[in-house]
Structure 1
Amino acid sequence: MDRISLGNDEFEGRNNAYVLADDDTGELALVDTGIATDDIRRDLREGLAERGYELSDVDDIVLTHFHVDHAGLAGEIQAASGATVSVHAADAPLVAQDPDAVAAVEERRRELLAEWGVPEDARNEFFAFFESVEIEGRPAEPTPIEDGDVLEVGGRTLETVHAPGHAAGLCCFETADGDEAFVGDAVLPVYTPNVGGADFRVDRPLEKYVATLERLIDRDYDRVWPGHRDPIEEPTERAETILEHHRERTATILDFLTDHGSADAWTVSNYLFGDLEGIHIVHGPGEAFAHLDHLRHEGVVAYENGEYCPVTDPISATELV
């Protein structure tokens, strides 16, 4: 698979923009675009130039999800080329930078950071981090897509596989033979995708992400092409490893609550990850929240005044995740 590796020091390591080109028709498509910074814009331009293309040649952009390290340059490329930008309907308003949608996310973020018990100085540090980096990019005019939609782009047939958890609208795109897929951040080769802090709109994020992992395991791809770093040659095994990681993390959190008593998400995050900075100020407590929230819905812990405490004898995490 032809990919352009793009710089990314903040979010999960180097991004991939996949190039789909039809030599017969000249149609050109990109799967994801990278962050809207000068360095990454240059990486993408140079990568396309090496293949004989310019940004203005792009006919279609397929976005795995709305995060700026995947969708940041979509609007700019669309303005230069008139490309169609396809993204799941749940994420389309954020790719379009609809003011109401953006404001709702911001409000929800502030509510959850307070609810999770994130100290004010850490919250201020997080907001200062985002204000210090200009990564939002130009708004796009997206075409909303849904699970099961089939896209004909760059000489390829891709089936949309909705894979929420990390983001509400995250999608994988399965090739026509069903053997491979572009998976964005649904499965990553090095890190486990953040759940809970990566998209504040997702209700019951761990439950949704576990369902996504199980769906990918059932599809049993031969190879997948992630949004970051190198291809995953054993994707079913990798998805199973991530699923087991979440079982172990659930057990760790339950053991901590049993020993410690009640705790908020920030306290649990500190136990799991220690001191945090930058984007991880939300990723850490968000991950803790995803597990605590799941335990609450399973009736294993109670929630009151921002804190969680066990209400039953500890049970095997394999029964919970």
Structure 2
Amino acid sequence: MHVIGLHNTVFEGDNTVYLLGEDGDGPLTLVDVGFDDLEIREQLAAGLADAGHAVTDVEQVLLTHYHGDHAGLAAWVQRESGATVYCHEVDAPLVESGQEAYRALRDAQEARFEAWGMPVDARTELRAVLDTETDLMAGATDVESVSDGDTVRAGDVDLRVRHLPGHTAGHVGYVRADGKALYAGDILLPKYTPNIGGADVRLNGALAAYLGSLERVAATAPDVAWPGHRDRIDDTVGRARTIADHHRERTENVLDVLRERGPATPWVVSHDLFGDLSSIHILHGPGEAHAHLEHLETHDVVAAEDGVYSLVETDPDLDPLFPNL
């Protein structure tokens, strides 16, 4: 396997993509591809050249999810090489060249902005950021959908598709058949915790879905995870546990806001949690606050009326809300 780092000025942490089959054994495969701009095209081409290959040699691309910093270059790679592009069936429409799925996503985002109580000026700033991201996501001309349990040959190994929703509705990891390695995308990151709630507004119950995905990762217990940003993760179960603990602590913080402030919208809760927000964090902050409020509402800890959340239980037992990894 050959590791290729790609620049990323839109989100924290440069992207990491992976080349399998560089020795000529099996299909030459990229796991994720990065944003579509000229600089990153050149970086990807240079990374392939370091492994003795050109973009035209790539036979297939395995996408972990639809976000532009993972899928944006898929169309270019496919045009240059004729590569087959794989993506989970739920995210595939957002990778394909048609714009209908993106229009539906933007409509869903606008509905969330209203429901979260996002101010007008924040919406205006965020729309400009989202327009830029869409520009960096050209879309592939043809996508082969995969589902949980499918197997794809990559280089000289078989990779099994694992549906790991939470960050996006169709996020997947690719697990080596012997279970020893996971290509994790954004489901497991070594430094940051992936955003839940704002990163894909199509998901209802985003936090519950993500916690379930962490349980799946822990149950598989791969020796190593290769994330979509930064460096390898050697203690995969420990990292999954740390992230789950982080979300439990954040849920406590959300409860503290409601205890101190009283009933509040997700936007107000996010401001108390994160302070003033700018750029893509205008989406991610209230999205994450909403995901935690929604999780609490599902378990009858809070109640919502017209987008305003209030406490039902002031000192709830959170053990049933979080997995024991």
TM-score bracket for this pair, using the shorter chain length: over 0.9
Cα distance in 1, alignment partners of residues 176 and 132 from structure 2: 39
Matched, 1:164 2:188: no
Matches within 5 A, 1:31-180: 31-132=31-132, 134-180=135-181
Identical pairs, percent: 45
The aligned amino acid for 2:310 is: C
The count of residues paired between Structure 1 and Structure 2 equals 321
The residue aligned with 1:9 is 9
Report the CA distance shift for 1:147/1:69 in structure 2 as closer, same or farther (over 3 A): same
Q: Indicate if the aligned counterparts of 1:150 and 1:159 stay in contact, CA closer than 8 A.
A: yes
Q: Indicate if the aligned counterparts of 2:166 and 2:203 stay in contact, CA closer than 8 A.
A: yes
What is the TM-score of this pair, normalised by structure 2? 0.96
The residue aligned with 1:231 is 232
Q: Indicate if the aligned counterparts of 2:85 and 2:140 stay in contact, CA closer than 8 A.
A: no
Q: Which runs of 5+ in 1 are unaligned?
A: none
Q: Indicate if the aligned counterparts of 2:22 and 2:52 stay in contact, CA closer than 8 A.
A: no
Q: Indicate if the aligned counterparts of 2:16 and 2:227 stay in contact, CA closer than 8 A.
A: yes
Cα distance in 1, alignment partners of residues 122 and 24 from structure 2: 54
Q: Indicate if the aligned counterparts of 1:60 and 1:154 stay in contact, CA closer than 8 A.
A: no
Q: Indicate if the aligned counterparts of 2:189 and 2:229 stay in contact, CA closer than 8 A.
A: yes
Structure 1 runs, 4 residues or longer, greater than 6 Å off: none
Q: Indicate if the aligned counterparts of 1:224 and 1:231 stay in contact, CA closer than 8 A.
A: yes
The residue aligned with 1:312 is 313
The residue aligned with 1:264 is 265
The residue aligned with 1:28 is 28
Quote the RMSD (CA, aligned, Å). 1.3
Report the CA distance shift for 1:100/1:24 in structure 2 as closer, same or farther (over 3 A): closer
The aligned amino acid for 2:276 is: D
Cα distance in 1, alignment partners of residues 301 and 204 from structure 2: 18
Cα distance in 2, alignment partners of residues 88 and 292 from structure 1: 28
Cα distance in 2, alignment partners of residues 236 and 25 from structure 1: 31
How big is the shift at 1:246?
Answer: 0.6
The aligned amino acid for 1:88 is: H
Cα distance in 1, alignment partners of residues 267 and 24 from structure 2: 55
Q: Indicate if the aligned counterparts of 1:168 and 1:199 stay in contact, CA closer than 8 A.
A: yes
Report the CA distance shift for 1:74/1:132 in structure 2 as closer, same or farther (over 3 A): closer
The residue aligned with 1:294 is 295
Cα distance in 2, alignment partners of residues 100 and 112 from structure 1: 19
Q: Which runs of 5+ in 2 are unaligned?
A: none
What is the TM-score of this pair, normalised by structure 1? 0.97
Of 161-170 and 131-140, the range deviating more from structure 2: 131-140
The aligned amino acid for 2:270 is: S
SS in 2 for 1:3: strand
